[in-house]
Amino acid sequence: MSGYVPVLLLILIAIALPVVIWTVSWAVRPHFPSAAKYSTYECGIKTTGEAREKFSVRYYLIAVMFLIFDVETVFLMPWAIQMKELALFGVVEIGIFLFLLLFGYGYIWSKGALTWE
């Protein structure tokens, strides 16, 4: 049981710290309520229409594709750092990785996912 004491202490700190920070920030913050503060938008633009407006799924698909390819290219950095140690194996490995990355890009391009209407 003594092995769990540090873990329990860490859990208690992880729970207590946000509560303490939130309480202190709530206590010391300036509070000046006004009608403008309680309005839906503080930017001065009057709202029009429904809040539940439908968006095309294309926006989300483009965002997800960007994230996928952006995150995959982050894997190039460790390879570039270790390039001398990896030698030929590293070149072949990154060649396969780049081939798969470009193949995926070509696939989504051929399916028309990148065409904007």
CATH of the domain at 103: 1.20.58.1610
Alpha-carbon span 116 to 73, nearest angstrom: 24
Instruction: Identify whether 42 is part of a domain.
Output: no
Low-confidence stretches of the chain (pLDDT < 70) are 36-47, 51
pLDDT recorded at residue 44: 63
Whether 107 and 78 have beta carbons less than 8 Å apart is answered as no
Look up the domain containing 96 and give its range.
2-36+53-110
Q: What is the pTM (predicted TM-score) of this model? A: 0.49
Q: How many domains does the chain contain in total?
A: 1
pLDDT recorded at residue 43: 63
Instruction: Identify whether 47 is part of a domain.
Output: no
pLDDT recorded at residue 57: 77
Instruction: Identify whether 83 is part of a domain.
Output: yes
Instruction: Identify whether 70 is part of a domain.
Output: yes
Instruction: Identify whether 44 is part of a domain.
Output: no
C-alpha angle with apex 16: 14 to 19, nearest 5 degrees?
A: 115
| Amino acid letter for position 112 | G
